[in-house]
Chains A and B, each alone.
Chain A
């Protein structure tokens, strides 16, 4: 038995029978082949940031940490092929050396690119799709050890593979559609909840990447605006400016002054038009019922629509709302109490964060649910990448 494996926040902990750290694609393929042959189960882990149980596995847990690094760069096309275990922070720095950048980042940059793609990681901005949409090609190791090359014209495969939680195969390398390295300015402001909601449309429309933190204990807000240097950010007469920071995207967009303590997170993606009303209801519910143990911020972001089968932003312009709670304070009851509000506004849970939905509730929220399953059935017919939890999550009863 391997040691207990814990995710970043500590709330996902288990002991796999085998913990492997293959140092190259061949080693990964041979490990999968061997596990498949004996009818075992495999899960691949990147940085372990996910707090849902998609990683939990009693049999073989495979770390992708050695499958890291940039393989090829096409500056003219603004594309790069990178190993899936590369952490976003390192990737940003390496790509910068080639004058390229990821178009956006999530709130942190600790994830691997494979993990970020697999769970639908996103940043904010009405014109910014999630990070999975960067993937225009991939090399995937299938359950039986064969290599599958996904090309830019393999539409159905790409739509399934963007946000697949490692259930189709293990991503070995990904080809990413990037942008030229860009510098941005971040400005942060303090203001009231009412002023924010009154100006929300303008804040989203006038900024490349706008999001806000709402603070339960003070009922006030930190506005976070990211724009191109030298021409973006408008003055906000209703808010007090707190900080300004300039630099290249990979330095400025991910928050390095994040919550400096382990936390649990619950996030739902909503149709953009429902964002403000859903937020208001959550704000009022937290003030009425949860302030006694909830002090950490609620994060409100926007994501552009995409067409990936299981993307929470599938088919609609999206607002995401994230709850945070210290891992040593009651979080289960808090998230469970707010979840019905998200669901009432047609929310879809973030695959990598805490939620209580299973296939019966998830399937109706994803128009291309069946299409995803067709691809998955074909690529992993024996369910080598499926754990009991994933079977319940995806509604897979067969082998």
Chain B
């Protein structure tokens, strides 16, 4: 059973710059989880798109069958470090269907709160 899709997009990226608390546990970050429920390795390529500069990537990620893999966007540094504190988006392309979820931990100031969700799309055939 292969749950998911082969292509995913995260549009709301922006890694917070300031952290409070012991790192790396409390490093402010964006991170994503890629779940592979299938029987073969998922080879995932990620493109990072910026507002006012050329995109970077591909960042390569493999996810073993029946495993999840969690990666911090902050730690995407090869081939080139993703810029922090700047809006960005991610496009995930996988050779097999996977499920992708994106999370932000912001430890920059006390009692912050946030919300993040997909807008509701009108389905249309591309």
> A residues bordering B, Cβ < 8 Å?
192, 217-220, 259-261, 291-296, 326, 328-329
Partner of B80, one of A218, A219, A291, A329: A329
Residues of the B chain whose Cβ atoms lie less than 8 Å from the Cβ of A295: 74-77, 81-82
CB <8 Å contact, A291 and B24:
no
Given the contacts A218-B74, A218-B75, A291-B17, A296 and B81 also touching, CB distance less than 8 Å = yes
Residues of A within 8 A of B23 (CB): 218-220
Shortest CB-to-CB span from B106 to chain A, Å, is 14
22 A–B contacts from the bound complex (CB under 8 Å): A192-B22, A217-B72, A217-B74, A217-B81, A218-B23, A218-B74, A219-B24, A220-B24, A259-B78, A260-B78, A291-B84, A292-B17, A295-B74, A295-B75, A295-B76, A295-B77, A295-B82, A296-B81, A326-B77, A326-B80, A326-B81, A329-B80
B94 CB-CB contact with A under 8 Å: no
Looking across the interface, which residue of chain B has its beta carbon closest to that of A291?
B84
Q: How far is the CA of A260 from the CA of B75 in the complex (A)?
A: 15
Q: A261 and B78: CB pair below 8 A? A: yes
**The 4 residue pairs across chains A and B that have the minimum distance between CB atoms:** A295-B81, A295-B77, A219-B23, A218-B24
How many residues of B sit at the interface, in one of the four size bands? 10 to 19
CA distance A218 to B31 in the complex (A): 13
Contacts of B86 in A (CB 8 A): 292
Residues of B with C-beta under 8 A to A328: 80
Question: Closest Cβ of chain B: how far from A364's Cβ, in Å?
Answer: 36
B79 within 8 A of A: yes
A295–B77 Cα distance when bound, in Å, is 6
Please tell me if B7 contacts chain A, counting CB pairs below 8 Å: no
B65 at the interface (CB under 8 A from A): no
Q: Tell me the bound Cα distance from A301 to B74 in angstroms.
A: 25
**Nearest B residue (CB) for A287:** B19
Q: List B residues 81-99 near A (Cβ within 8 Å).
A: 81-86
* In contact, A261 and B27 (Cβ under 8 angstroms): no
A-side interface mostly: loop
Chain A residues with CB under 8 Å of B24's CB are: 218-220
When chains A and B are docked, how far (Å) is the Cα of A218 from the Cα of B76?
Answer: 11
Closest to B23 in A: A219
Cβ of B76: which chain A residues have Cβ within 8 Å of it? Answer: 295
Question: Which of B22, B75, B79 interacts with A217 by CB under 8 Å?
Answer: B75
Contact of B77 (CB < 8 Å), options: A192, A217, A219, A292: A217
Contacts of A261 in B (CB 8 A): 78-80
Q: Nearest Cβ in chain A — how far from B110, in angstroms?
A: 19
- CB contacts (< 8 Å) of A296 on chain B: these are 77, 81
Q: Which residue of B lies closest to A260 (CB)?
A: B78
Q: B34-78 vs A: 1/0 string, CB under 8 Å?
A: 000000000000000000000000000000000000001011111
A220 to B80, CA, bound (A): 19
Beta-carbon contact of A292 and B83 below 8 Å: yes
Interface centre among A217, A261, A328 (most CB of B within 10 A): A217
Complex-state Cα separation, A260 to B59, whole angstroms: 13
Measured in the bound complex, the distance between the Cα atoms of B75 and A65 in whole Å is 38
A220–B85 Cα gap in the complex (Å)?
20
The smallest beta-carbon distance between A297 and chain B, in angstroms, is: 9
CB distance from B1 to the nearest CB of A (A): 34
Say whether B84 contacts A292, CB under 8 Å: yes
Closest to A190 in B: B24
**Considering residues A219, A291, A329, which has the most beta carbons from chain B within 10 angstroms of its beta carbon?**
A291
Given contacts A219-B23, A293-B84, A326-B77, list 4 more A-B pairs with CB under 8 A. Answer: A217-B77, A218-B23, A219-B24, A294-B81
Query: How far in angstroms is the closest Cβ of chain A from B77?
Result: 3
Q: From B22, which residue of chain A is reached at the shortest CB distance?
A: A192
Complex Cα distance A328/B82, Å?
12
Q: Which of chain B's residues have a CB closer than 8 A to the CB of A219?
A: 23-24, 27
Contact present for A218 and B27 (CB under 8 Å): yes
Partner of B83, one of A192, A218, A293: A293
Name the residue of chain B whose CB is nearest to the CB of A330.
B83
